[in-house]
Amino acid sequence: MYKALALDLDGTLLQTAEISRRAANHVLETHGFRQIDRKRFDEICHSGAEYLMKEAAQIEEGALSKQLLEEYVETYKRNFEAPPYENAIEICRELKQKGRKLAVYSNKVMTIVKRQLKASGLDKILDLVVADDGSVPLKPDPEGLYHIADLFGVRVSEILMVGDSQNDVDTAENAGADSCFFRMGIGKLEEGKRKPTYEIDKLDELREIVLREGREHAQHKIE
């Protein structure tokens, strides 16, 4: 039985893709770089803001990449509100009421994550937020899931990692946890890479996966 969930934020709980892309393109345009389209954004948006801006501008890490990152964060902060996915708040509230511990586990800068969670109301439901503040390595490093397990007092195998990217699946695999891929998010699974334990199209499908005692009964398990 899953005692806790580690939930990605962008493309899983909140619909943030266009907000993030607009912020990135604003900074790129300001510095004379070519703007990125949605396809390119989707390819590079899952490994943190620093990686996003470095890849978007196609430059090496250095003083300029750090400047782009700082400007991206400041631009994002001014336009940060994003709508939750359908039933995101309701399913989180229900799982919390059923005794499950809930953590957001994101590669996004912590200050932005907290502002978005507060604006959406999710901050009142979640038990923990793990994001980019320098305290743990970014996904797919498994350290964040170990950290969540330690704070929740559960085994890593009792955590379900829920996200919309191969990065989330790999993070769970690296830690020894199960994963659930949200197909309606930003990202996609990569051919030849690790497969998730489950796949869903709607967040309320988590109810069946998490609240059923036996995992073998879940219709969404990938064989």
- What CA–CA distance (Å, rounded) separates 198 from 98? 21
Strands (E), the chain: 4-7, 101-109, 128-132, 159-163, 178-182, 198-200
Q: State pLDDT tens for residues 184-195.
A: 988 889 889 999
Dihedral, CA atoms, 44, 103, 5, 97, nearest 10 degrees? -140
Encoded tokens for 76: 């994002």
| Pairing assessment for the beta strands 159-163 and 178-182 based on DSSP bridges | parallel
Looking at domain 4-15+84-217, does it have CATH number 1.10.10.370?
A: no
Query: Are the folds of 4-15+84-217 and 17-78 the same?
Result: no
Name the residue ranges covered by the structural domains of the chain.
Answer: 4-15+84-217, 17-78
What is the share, in percent, of the chain residues with pLDDT greater than 90?
A: 79
Amino acid symbol at 13: L
Share in percent of the chain as helix, strand, coil (round to 5): 45, 15, 35
The candidate with the shortest Cα–Cα distance to 189, out of 166, 159, 208, is 166
65 touches 50 (CB < 8 A)? yes
Look at residue 47 in the predicted model and tell me its pLDDT: 81
> In this structure, which topology does domain 17-78 adopt according to CATH?
DNA polymerase; domain 1 (1.10.150)
Q: Which residues of the chain have pLDDT under 70?
A: 213-223
